[in-house]
Structure 1
């Protein structure tokens, strides 16, 4: 029932023959989650032949990160900052993982690759995907204007910029993205084609369907399957809400879509924590990112799985849910995610395993950067 994330034999037993190990996290920008995922990826690469780390980050931007871990030029600080979206790369644990990947690639033939699987520009700006496509296909008149129009800026700046566009301006941008995506698909370059798919998903996410999976979830799942055509076994890193098999807020998730395609070829590991910092938002208006942000101390509700695992008394507790007795979750209503109680009807259906940390710390400077970003809007 119990698993030890630091023990290769324990990890091997959990993973089995799965081609995809999806590692979740109950909150972003938590130091210990980064460190744990790095350690698990190294074990999976060295012991089980996993060859790629796939991250909840822009696919187009990730191309530069993969080039760097393959021995390309540049400083890891710059590559991690510019090539990993949502500012997830602005921390030492992530830079340390990239350094390890580069050193492994330089030492021998067992290459490890980095991929983003998400929409471009932290899901608010199509610019990075536009530039990546134009680097790979023949140019045409008007391309320079499209680059200028599509480069909306950073995450909050881009969301506000798009919201402030006139209707004709939005129509011009979306028409340009659609036409470029069609050119890329027709050209035959596979990477440009995946960037084109990210543009289609970006546009669809602006007006998502009322039911069913969000276009972003579909794109991430399809990107993982695209990567599996090129890699043998991969680690996928994202929030618990993306990797879980069961619906989140009544919407199918990336994990659910992958489960339908891969079945036993997928192992999903959720990561939770009991106490430590928790970011909360208070929306002031419907305007994008118009909200107050607070850093509070997290307290696990008595009916949460975190409170249950806290009682085990270990700093790190790993549970193989496939072998755990069903009575383990008597009285448990959910797992904490995103600052609230996320109801989970059946933990073994949502996750194959849970790794629980009793206490965590936040990436230094992450909250201050977030607050400054929101205050600048």
Structure 2
């Protein structure tokens, strides 16, 4: 099998000449050709704390915007907070570092993300409004901006709904599945508030959309974390909500082409965890071959993550070698350097079960090196960008949550 992989990669792999944003893009042309006709491309990552992933995806975003006409960057980030980032990249409103720091997760509070957002602003600056690239969040959790907008409106125009305003404040920080309720009373309350605002003469489109975000957030918060309930679990509902958010971006504009920035697990065309239907699976159902899932993997090095189940401690450096059993080990051994491969081929190894390394925002304290997930390369992804060495992303000051 390793010899078969090496022979196939020698013929089909496309070297990545640089991981640095702004570098010449001739090496990305094969990816551009592959994406002709694609409406949605998923840009994955096997860790949330690898600088090279951020920089390579920044470079790919530049290429797809400038050369291939992609119109929107959608992130696995707070749908609520991302609206302010969109105002910055399209109109220059606000401070980019502060706005990025409020995207809901420590993973995005990096200098690499600020660099990307500043590039989007620079690109948009002299363009007419209709050609400016948009920035969107697709994750309904962490709704601080939406809570602030909706409660301010209720205080000013519907003081009789003071109790509703207080109830919604829990959605500022509440996590998926943190308030399980089979009756979903909070969701019903948020839905009623959204109906009230939609019918109110003084409510503008912005505050109405913030109210709708809170309905989605309340739905997520009141679900169960028990994956045995299938499509009703908080995990499944989160990926479904993210897929719906991407679909709104695509379907509301026939010219839209969307880049989705998220973890490999979410962008895969199958399932993750205990059979959770991934965001990417739902996008494939919606758009068929017009959805392309590009996973990012690395050979060895270091990355940032929190230890264990601690949701408050700062992320720390974790190290890992190439190993011997994962697909990353096989890719590193078969071909040196950084490269991109399109997986839509019939080579046997692409359709053989393997293991991929997968690291989230938190990793097990002692056994993270053994964190793997099942993988059938051509079944789960359409392409892989392989980075030989990973180093830690660069946190902004006070990047803890």
TM tier, smaller: 0.7 to 0.9
Q: Are the aligned partners of 1:120 and 1:128 in contact in 2 as well (CA < 8 Å)? A: no
> How far apart in 2 are the matches of 1:221 and 1:159?
19
Asked if 1:356 corresponds to 2:386, the answer is: yes
Q: How many residues align?
A: 353
Asked if 1:207 corresponds to 2:207, the answer is: no
Alignment of 1:117-132 (within 5 A): 117-121=138-142, 126-132=143-149
Alignment of 1:209-224 (within 5 A): 210-212=229-231, 214-224=236-246
1:116 corresponds to which of 122, 137, 141: 137
> Kindly tell me: are residues 71 and 366 of structure 1, through their superposed partners in 2, closer, same or farther at Cα, counting changes over 3 Å?
closer
Provide, for residues 97-121 of structure 1, a one-character-per-residue CA deviation record: whole Å limited to 9, x for no partner: 1111111111223311111111131
Provide, for residues 195-232 of structure 1, a one-character-per-residue CA deviation record: whole Å limited to 9, x for no partner: 44433333333324711261111110000011111351
Q: Are the aligned partners of 1:127 and 1:147 in contact in 2 as well (CA < 8 Å)? A: no
Matched residue, 1:251: 276
Matched residue, 1:260: 285
When structure 1 is superposed on structure 2, of 210-219 and 182-191 the one drifting more is 182-191
| Contiguous gaps of at least 5 residues in structure 2 | 1-11, 17-24, 360-367
Provide, for residues 66-89 of structure 1, a one-character-per-residue CA deviation record: whole Å limited to 9, x for no partner: 11111233222112212x221344
Alignment of 1:137-152 (within 5 A): 139-142=157-160, 146-152=164-170
> Kindly tell me: are residues 67 and 313 of structure 1, through their superposed partners in 2, closer, same or farther at Cα, counting changes over 3 Å?
same
> Kindly tell me: are residues 207 and 324 of structure 1, through their superposed partners in 2, closer, same or farther at Cα, counting changes over 3 Å?
same
Q: Are the aligned partners of 1:3 and 1:11 in contact in 2 as well (CA < 8 Å)? A: no
> How far apart in 1 are the matches of 2:86 and 2:314?
36
How far off is 1:300 after superposition?
4.0
Q: Are the aligned partners of 1:202 and 1:216 in contact in 2 as well (CA < 8 Å)? A: no
Asked if 1:106 corresponds to 2:137, the answer is: no
SS of equivalent to 1:318: strand
2:13 corresponds to which of 2, 8, 29: 2
How far off is 1:11 after superposition?
1.8
> How far apart in 2 are the matches of 1:336 and 1:171?
36
> Kindly tell me: are residues 204 and 179 of structure 1, through their superposed partners in 2, closer, same or farther at Cα, counting changes over 3 Å?
same
> How far apart in 2 are the matches of 1:220 and 1:337?
20
SS of equivalent to 1:17: coil
Alignment of 1:1-377 (within 5 A): 1-4=12-15, 6=25, 7-82=27-102, 84-109=103-128, 110-121=131-142, 126-133=143-150, 139-142=157-160, 146-152=164-170, 158=174, 176-184=189-197, 186=199, 194-205=209-220, 206-208=222-224, 210-212=229-231, 214-228=236-250, 229-230=252-253, 232-249=256-273, 250-278=275-303, 279=305, 281-283=307-309, 289=311, 295-323=317-345, 325-327=347-349, 333-338=354-359, 339=368, 340-344=371-375, 346-365=376-395, 369-370=399-400
> How far apart in 2 are the matches of 1:289 and 1:327?
38
Query: RMSD of aligned C-alpha atoms?
Result: 3.4
SS of equivalent to 1:214: helix
> How far apart in 1 are the matches of 2:194 and 2:171?
20
How far off is 1:307 after superposition?
0.4
| Contiguous gaps of at least 5 residues in structure 1 | none
> How far apart in 2 are the matches of 1:30 and 1:189?
40
When structure 1 is superposed on structure 2, of 244-253 and 174-183 the one drifting more is 174-183
